Amino acid sequence: MSTTLENIQRQIGENPILIYMKGTPQLPQCGFSAQTVQALMACGERFAFVNILDNPDIRTELPKFANWPTFPQLWVEGELVGGCDIVVEMHQSGELEKLVKEAAAKHQDDQPES
């Protein structure tokens, strides 16, 4: 059985665009998660998410691993981008879409055939 830390590292490693949030993209459970996921969805690329409300172990361990105390957390290609304020700012400047599209393009071959 893998540890919570191994699980977090696997999730970050396997998902080029990943958001740790409260709730789901369709039903965010906090305003910060809602704003962040809205900015991310506006980029038009697929992304993975982890609902930390369903995963209390991740909710406890991730801030220590990331050295970032709050949620949501956006990770792109294994790097912590930041939380709500940073993501919304990047979205407004156009930087977020560029970052997300580049990451998605690099990993489009990883997508399973539909």
* Burial category of 36 from C-beta neighbours within 10 Å (exposed 0-12, middle 13-18, buried 19 and up): buried
- Specify the number of domains making up the chain: 1
Residue 29 located in a structural domain: yes
Tens digit of each residue's pLDDT, the chain (114 residues): 579 999 999 999 999 999 999 999 999 999 999 999 999 999 999 999 999 999 999 999 999 999 999 999 999 999 999 999 999 999 999 999 999 999 999 987 655 554
- Any idea what the CATH number is for the domain that residue 67 is in? 3.40.30.10
CA–CA gap between residue 33 and residue 50 (Å, rounded): 11
Domain that holds residue 92: 4-109
Residue 114 located in a structural domain: no
